[in-house]
Each structure stands twice: as structure tokens, then as C-alpha cells.
A = this chain, B = another copy of it.
Amino acid sequence: MATADPTRPGFQLPLLLLAGFRTLIDDLHTELAREGHPELRPLHGFVLQAVGAGGTTATELGQRLGISKQAAGKTVDRLVAVGYLERVDDPSDARRRLVRVTPRGAEGLRRSAEIFDRLRAQWADTLGPERVTALEDDLRTMASANWFRLDVPGWFGG
């Protein structure tokens, strides 16, 4: 009895959560690549989302994503390199470099949102809409989602 039974309940839950997430993300990027955005990587959609329509700075982005400003800066570098973000100087503060979503970035984000909606609809077709809603409600209850601010001002369009 050197190892624990992997079918025991406790082990399944995290695995299933991860598998669900991965399935969604894999499907998203398969579809995104087909629709002309092959360079968008798993986390990029969330980063683009976190930058928002109004733009941000690397430091603020790091706070929103719960990572260091240096890590946020490097991620911005990569997104700039593939044309989804751009950096502009802030005329009112020479220390700051505003990060903004480019038109191509906005296009990719729009497609991501559409694909996610379609994937959620597939879940609703298979499980029934009320089970998907229940699943989301339960996860919202358990996942003290503080590590990723879904309600950050600036995430909304316009």
C-alpha cells in the first residue's frame, strides 16, 4: 500500500476541475487558430481581457492578474511582439507606459468571447442549462476567486 487509491473522491475533484479547464482552453485555441489567431496562447486571452478597453500599465496589470509587475511586463512584451498590444507614453506621467489593446487584439478578444460562448452552449446542450448554471454557482461559492479579479473596473468595454 505504498500509494493512495487514485479513485478516492478527494483526488478526482481537482483532476476533474483541471481537465474541464484544459478541455475548454484546448478547444478555444484549436478554434482560434482556425479563425486566424494561431499565435494567441492559453493565457493571452485573459491578459487581453485584463488590459481592457481603457488601457493599463504593467504594474496595474500585474495587480489585476495577481502576478509581479515584472512578470506582467514580460507578458506584455510577448503580446506586443505578436501585435495584440501596444505601448504608448503617458503624456501626464513620464514614468508610465500605457499598455493598450490593438485592433488586432480586440479582434482576437472578440473571437475568444464568441468561442467561449459557443463552448458553454455545448456544455448546456449536453448537461442541461440548469446544471451548467449550478456548476458555475457552486464554483463561485467555493473558489474564493480573489486571485483573479473578475470585477476590476476597466474590464468592461467603452
Give residues in A with beta carbon < 8 Å to B.
1-25, 28, 46, 48-49, 51-53, 101, 106, 109-110, 112-120, 123, 126-127, 131-132, 134-136, 138-145, 147-148, 150, 155-158
Contact = CB atoms under 8 A, between A and B. Distances in A.
Count the copies.
Answer: 2
Given A2-B106, A52-B3, A157-B2, A16 B117 contact: no
Contacts of A24: 13-14, 17
A135 B136 contact: no
A7 B123 CA distance: 18
Contacts of A114: 10
B49 A19 contact: no
Given A113-B4, A127-B138, A120 B17 contact: no
B2 A112 contact: no
Contact of A134 (B11, B134, B142, B148): B134
B157 A7 contact: no
Nearest to A50: B6
A130 to B, nearest CB: 11
B117 A8 contact: yes
A49 B15 CA distance: 12
A141 B126 CA distance: 8
Given A116-B13, A120-B10, A156 B20 contact: no
